[in-house]
Amino acid sequence: MTDPTRFSARSRDIAPFHVMALLARAQALEAAGHDVIHLEIGEPDFTTIEPVVRAGQAALAAGHTRYTAALGLPALRQAIAGFYQQRYDVDVDPARVVVTPGGSGALLLAASALVDPGRHWLLADPGYPCNRHFLRLVEASAQLVPVSAADNWQLTPAHVQRCWNQDSVGALVASPANPTGSVLGREALADLAAAVRAHDGHLVVDEIYHGLTYGMDAPSVLEVDDNAWVLNSFSKYFGMTGWRLGWLVAPPAALPALEKLAQNLYISAPSMAQHAALACFQPDSIALLEQRRAEFGRRRDALLPALRAIGLGIERVPDGAFYLYCDVGAFTDDAQVLCHFLLETEHVALTPGVDFGQHGASTHLRIAYTQPVERLLQAVGRIERGLQRWQQQR
């Protein structure tokens, strides 16, 4: 079967991650002996903290290798609910917590439960690409709304009012956001929730980068809207990317539908990972994770002024995540070609804006500060040299 039209339309419509081609090329350059600085993949460079690893090993030794309940291990659902009380002063019934295979599993459940074929959510452009792809998977769609630094790279009530139509059923926002690192404050979340509620819609908030904020703490939407849907993950703040574990907080009325979907789509999240994740909420674990958060903050504060000094535009200081979304319009109107050029000539791997949507994509790229400060500053030196070569060739 070599004819692509023999495969489903949805599989053809879902775009690949363009950065994966860059990653494959970067790995080939490394295999050839080159020193490549990886600033392209959105994964912490730290391994999982030792208390969680020990808990996972103990779970395996104890034989916790069978399915759990579809909604998750009761003890973990209770621990996540306790985390909301401790960190946000919000009471969440553990019954509302659905443990999923990664944050992607949570997004799949939410999309499947809320969006019928032909309907859509409003999404900020730029934004995380898999959000729109999951909507396509369930035969729905994303209405991409162009946002900019003037909007804090986020949907606003004005966007909702202007873009909502008869096919809109909700809005999905991320705080902190990928690729921009922008955070929605408590008032902004409350205003956005009110705007969506005025249209009898659903507000879904991706809080996957919560815990990775600098100089401030991101509020949860549950502080201002108990009916909002929350996506979260153990991958970013908790550093458990390969364990594939996340969660969804949903209104009580949605739980029967979500349980049916979970049973059919994946049966349960990985049992060993769920037992390991119980250790995430212990005080010694939180202390280690807070040390890592502080390190990410130091990296941001070193990298941002260095990039600005060589001519990259960063209009707003990002409050969260571990990315800088950089305007390279002073150098090119094709950031994807520039990313390939910098990889080939300077061996620095960056992510082109085309992976995050359409608005401004050709003049933006994302840099992940998932390397030590010394390595980041070395990358800046290479990028500066590469940009000089780029301009000489134009």
Please state, for a pLDDT cut of 70, what percent of the chain lies above it: 99
Cβ atoms of 197 and 222 closer than 8 Å: no
- Same domain? For 235 and 326 the reply is no
Determine phi and psi for 293, rounding to 5 degrees.
-60, -45
> Can you give the pLDDT at residue 230?
98
Give the pLDDT band (50/70/90) at residue 5: confident
Integer distance in angstroms from the first to the last C-alpha of the chain?
43
> Does residue 36 sit in the same domain as residue 58?
no
| Structural domain count, the chain | 2
Q: Are residues 121 and 221 in the same domain?
A: yes
Same-domain status, 75 and 202: yes
The answer to whether position 175 is within a domain reads yes
**Residue that finishes a domain, picked among 237, 255, 282:** 282
**Distance set, CA 96 to CA 80, 302, 331 (Å):** 10, 40, 49
Closest to 193 in 3D by CA, of 137, 138, 150, 251 = 251
Q: Is 5 exposed, middle or buried (0-12, 13-18, 19+ CB in 10 A)?
A: exposed
CATH of the domain at 310: 3.90.1150.10
CA proximity to 112, closest of 137, 95, 129, 132: 137
- How high is the pLDDT of residue 4? 72
Q: Is there a single domain that holds both residue 179 and residue 310?
A: no
- Does 205 share its domain with 116? yes
27 and 84 co-located in one domain: no
Identify the band that residue 2 occupies on the pLDDT scale cut at 50, 70 and 90. low
Same domain? For 99 and 172 the reply is yes
Whether the per-residue pLDDT at 3 is higher than 80: the answer is no
Which contacts (CB < 8 Å, 24+ apart) does range 77-82 have?
Answer: 79/277, 79/278, 79/280, 79/281, 80/247, 82/281
Has residue 333 been placed in a domain?
yes
Give 35's pLDDT tier (boundaries 50, 70, 90): very high
CATH number of residue 102's parent domain: 3.40.640.10
In a domain, 166, yes or no: yes
SS3 320: strand
Last residue of a domain, one of 282, 315, 339: 282
pLDDT at 235: 97
Q: State the DSSP string of 205-273.
A: EE-TTTT-BSSS-PPPGGGT-TT-EEEEESSSSS--GGG--EEEE--GGGHHHHHHHHHHHTSSS-HHH
Residue 167 lies in domain: 50-282
Residues 301 and 384 in one domain: yes
Does residue 394 fall inside a structural domain?
no
- Do residues 22 and 343 make contact, with C-beta atoms less than 8 angstroms apart? yes
pLDDT band (50, 70, 90) for residue 147: very high
Q: Write out the two tokens for 142.
A: 């994303």
Work out the mean pLDDT of the chain and round it to a whole number: 96
pTM comes to 0.95
Q: What is the mean pLDDT of residues 270-285?
A: 98
Specify whether 290 is located in the same domain as 237.
no
Confidence of residue 20 (pLDDT cuts 50, 70, 90): confident
pLDDT at 117 over 60: yes
> Residue 352's pLDDT is what?
96
Indicate whether 117 belongs to any domain: yes
Boundary (domain end) residue, out of 256, 282, 308: 282
Backbone φ and ψ for 229, nearest 5 degrees, come out as -100, 135
Q: Is 145 helix (H, G, I), strand (E, B) or coil?
A: strand
Is 393 part of any domain?
Answer: no
Q: Could you tell me how far CA 373 lies from the centroid of its own chain?
A: 22
Neighbours of 180 (CB within 10 A): 30
Which pLDDT does position 1 carry in this prediction?
A: 54
* CA pair distance 37, 343, nearest whole angstrom: 9
| Tens-place pLDDT, residues 55-114 | 999 999 999 999 999 999 999 999 999 999 999 999 999 999 999 999 999 999 999 999
Residue 290 sits in the same domain as residue 274: no
- Sign of torsion over alpha carbons 111, 113, 116, 122: negative
**226 belongs to a structural domain:** yes
3-state helix, strand, coil in the chain (%, to 5): 50, 15, 35
> Of the candidates 380, 370, 379, which has an alpha carbon nearest to the alpha carbon of residue 311?
380
CB 156 within 8 Å of CB 192: yes
Is residue 345 included in any domain, yes or no? Answer: yes
Residue keyed to tokens 């950089």: 326
Residues 332 and 373 in one domain: yes
What is the helix (H) or strand (E) element at residue 173, kind and residue range? strand 168-174
Q: What is the pLDDT of residue 249?
A: 98
